[in-house]
């Protein structure tokens, strides 16, 4: 048995260490991702009562929290689920599913007083998931693309996109810069903060608003995910970049700086970040990159990344990438000391895959930013995190995204990619860098947490050793490593 082999087995038994306390609440460790609507949908199909659904969720959340590697829950939930009626309605909000999560965490923490308290991250998504009552308040811009054209008012606030790959609860997307949309979203966020900001289990929220169906910096674009997306009216397909160009010229006739550029989206994101900094306090705000803002292919580059307050150029391997320039410009605002109020700040990628080739931003960008801002007096300290792209234990995902049909091996490969460039790299047969990046958390889908709890050891090979471990061993080790390398 080699020294490396012994080290691997020893470290697979590590338990999480305690963190140093700080003013803001920050996420640390492994979080179980719960797409709430997906979990609830089959229960509603069965016709279960509201009480029965809540009871099921509390049991479901409790099962995830009982896993020793899990630091808490990451709830992905839609705006229209939480805010089904306008603010003037007698019951504008529906908090049950989130309340169930907080009560489950409170129960676990009360029953385990000597353990590290478990916590909750929120990812609440507007955009295509905006409530119908809110979208009804917006006039449609669709006539701009009819043949013959029916010119809408310059203040129109929504447009219909078909074939958006991430889906959503509607095909109508509120325009990111529309003030009616922004005001309604802020009113909701204020209600959300009033209900949960004071709860010690609430540690982070993802910034959203100028978004589509997630909190990522993704909108309908010509080549999102490598596949064209179109909007169709009467059989006429229109490329998303042409839609955005026409909308920008309609709504900002006196501001040519917005025509055929991402500046309007940058400004909307900066405003959203500032809004969250005003609404929330002493938690962690998360900006999620996405490689998905419009690129306007007819506009020629280069589009250099900003170099202040830190140099973002290493994030953009291709300087003709307008999206990368736009996202790093947003991050250059996010990192400023004066931005974000009393909150901590983090960035994450939500597309972690062992098989994904290196590209602009993504996981490498998260590590670069956390490393560059660690201990800086010129910028905020930006914590780092990631979300696995999909459940490795379902369908063909393990082989497609984890590089192996064996879930334990696919999980190891994914963790190896995640920890590369950190002080934990050697454990995963990677070279430890001279300037390691701190990382705070990893979000793993609940299906993989359940899989790990119920499956035994497998042989895992990774170049410098072959060990026999269970998926649960791997999660325990990763959790321990995160507590070791996280920024406090």
Q: Which residues of the chain have pLDDT under 50?
A: 1-21, 225-227
CA distance 306 to 327: 10
Which tokens is 456 given? 């035994």
Which DSSP letter does residue 78 get?
E
Place of tokens 């078909």: 162
CA distance 109 to 62: 11
What per-residue confidence (pLDDT) applies to 45? Answer: 92
Judge contact between 219 and 208, C-beta under 8 A.
no
What per-residue confidence (pLDDT) applies to 151? Answer: 92
Q: Give me the helix-helix angle, 50-65 and 36-45, nearest 10°.
A: 140
Judge contact between 168 and 79, C-beta under 8 A.
no
What per-residue confidence (pLDDT) applies to 475? Answer: 97
User: DSSP for 301-313?
Assistant: ---PPP-SSS--G
Which tokens is 64 given? 């995830």
- CA distances, 66 to each of 107, 108, 199, 474 (Å): 11, 8, 20, 16
Give buried/exposed letters for 408-445 (b at 16+ CB in 10 A, else e). Answer: bbbbbbbbbbbbbbbbbbbbbbbeeeeebbbbbbbbbb
Judge contact between 141 and 160, C-beta under 8 A.
no
What per-residue confidence (pLDDT) applies to 18? Answer: 37
Strand pairing class (231-233; 236-238) = antiparallel
What's the whole-model pTM score?
0.94
Alpha helices in 225-296 (DSSP H): 240-251, 263-279
Please, how many CA atoms are within 13 Å of residue 302, restricted to the half-sphere of its CB?
8
What per-residue confidence (pLDDT) applies to 224? Answer: 52
What per-residue confidence (pLDDT) applies to 20? Answer: 40
Q: What share of the chain is helix, strand, coil (3-state, %, to 5)?
A: 40, 15, 45
- Domain 3-485 sits in CATH at 3.20.20.80
Cis upstream peptide for 263 (omega within 30°): no
235: number of Cβ within 10 Å: 6
Cis upstream peptide for 302 (omega within 30°): yes
What per-residue confidence (pLDDT) applies to 301? Answer: 85
CA distance 354 to 403: 7
Cis upstream peptide for 309 (omega within 30°): yes
């Amino acid at each position: 048995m080699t020294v490396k082999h012994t080290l691997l087995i020893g470290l697979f038994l590590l338990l999480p260490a305690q963190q140093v306390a700080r003013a803001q609440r920050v996420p640390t460790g492994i979080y179980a991702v719960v797409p709430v609507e997906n979990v609830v949908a089959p229960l509603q199909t069965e016709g279960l009562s509201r009480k029965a659904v809540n009871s099921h969720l509390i049991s479901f959340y409790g099962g995830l929290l009982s896993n020793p590697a899990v630091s808490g829950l990451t709830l992905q939930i839609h705006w229209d689920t939480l805010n089904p009626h306008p603010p003037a309605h007698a019951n504008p909000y529906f908090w049950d599913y989130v309340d169930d999560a907080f009560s489950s965490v409170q129960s676990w923490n009360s029953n385990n007083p000597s353990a590290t308290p478990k916590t909750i991250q929120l990812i609440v998504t507007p955009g295509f998931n905006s409530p119908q009552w809110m979208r009804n308040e917006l006039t449609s811009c669709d006539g701009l693309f009819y043949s013959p054209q029916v010119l809408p008012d310059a203040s129109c606030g929504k447009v219909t996109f078909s074939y958006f790959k991430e889906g959503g609860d509607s095909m109508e997307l509120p325009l990111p810069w529309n003030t009616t949309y922004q005001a309604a979203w802020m009113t909701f966020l204020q209600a959300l903060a009033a209900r949960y900001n004071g709860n010690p289990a609430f540690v982070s929220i993802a910034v959203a608003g100028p978004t589509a169906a997630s909190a990522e910096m993704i909108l309908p674009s010509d080549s999102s995910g490598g596949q064209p997306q179109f909007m169709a009216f009467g059989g006429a397909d229109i490329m998303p970049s042409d839609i955005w160009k026409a909308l920008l010229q309609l709504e900002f006739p006196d501001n040519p700086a917005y025509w055929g550029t991402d500046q309007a989206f940058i400004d909307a994101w900066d405003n959203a970040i500032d809004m969250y900094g005003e609404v929330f306090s002493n938690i962690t705000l998360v900006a999620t990159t996405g490689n998905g803002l419009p690129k306007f292919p007819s506009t020629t580059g280069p589009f250099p990344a900003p170099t202040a307050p830190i140099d973002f150029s290493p994030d953009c391997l291709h300087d003709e990438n307008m999206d990368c320039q736009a996202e790093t410009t947003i991050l250059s605002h996010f990192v400023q000391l004066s931005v974000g109020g009393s909150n901590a700040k983090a960035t994450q990628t939500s597309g972690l895959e062992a098989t994904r080739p290196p590209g602009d931003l993504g996981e490498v960008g998260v590590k670069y930013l956390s490393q560059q801002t660690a201990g800086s007096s010129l910028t905020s300290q930006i914590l780092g995190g990631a979300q696995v792209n999909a459940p490795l234990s379902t369908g063909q995902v393990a082989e497609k995204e984890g590089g192996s049909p064996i879930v334990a091996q696919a999980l190891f490969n994914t963790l190896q990619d995640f920890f590369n460039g950190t002080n934990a790299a050697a454990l995963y047969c990677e070279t430890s860098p001279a300037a390691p990046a701190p990382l705070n958390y990893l979000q793993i889908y609940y299906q993989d947490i359940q899989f790990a709890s119920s499956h035994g050891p497998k042989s895992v090979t990774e170049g410098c050793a072959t060990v026999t471990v269970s998926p649960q061993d791997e999660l325990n080790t990763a959790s321990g490593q995160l507590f070791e390398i996280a920024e406090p």
